[in-house]
Amino acid sequence: MAAKTYTLEVVKQHNKPEDLWIIIEGKVYDVTKFRNEHPGGEETLDEVGGRDATRDFQDVGHSQEAKQMLKKYYIGDLEVDKTCKLPVSTTPTPSLPPQLPPTTTQSSANIVKPEAANTIIADKDVAPPGKQCCVLA
């Protein structure tokens, strides 16, 4: 069954100690029950409630055990805003013009190579690293 998805607007509403959700790497976690048990403190989680805590979570250098614990609090995925420009790794390959086989009058140097086309698109259309879409903004 497909995972439940939540928009950022919905997640934002769960930002109170008695109703606390956070986002880590595009996944939504309900940490309401965990906040009292968090070894890093309740306030730490309160501060990131209702928003993307990916960077905060990574900056601490959480152990493998901590990463395993995430599963317990997972409630669904963040719905991707389709109007956002995502990093190139998640952008579907753009459709390219059909490539004609080289003829005697057309040198292969004139054919647009898919890698080259991607490079141009990545240069002007993709959000700079660290500014991932609207989520971390």
Q: State the minimum distance, in angstroms, from the CB of residue 30 to ligand HEM.
A: 9
**Alpha-carbon dihedral 6, 9, 13, 14, rounded to 10 degrees:** 30
Q: State the minimum distance, in angstroms, from the CB of residue 90 to ligand HEM.
A: 23
Nearer to ligand HEM, 20 or 133 (CB): 20
Amino acid at 127: A
Burial track 11-37 (b if 16+ CB lie within 10 A, e otherwise): beebbeeeebbbbbeebbbbbbebbee
Q: State the minimum distance, in angstroms, from the CB of residue 42 to ligand HEM.
A: 11
How far the first Cα of the chain sits from its last, in Å, is 31
Q: State the minimum distance, in angstroms, from the CB of residue 125 to ligand HEM.
A: 31
Nearer to ligand HEM, 43 or 125 (CB): 43
Chain positions contacting ligand HEM, by CB under 6 A: 22, 29, 31, 34, 38-40, 44-45, 48, 53, 56-57, 60, 62-63, 65-66, 69-70, 73
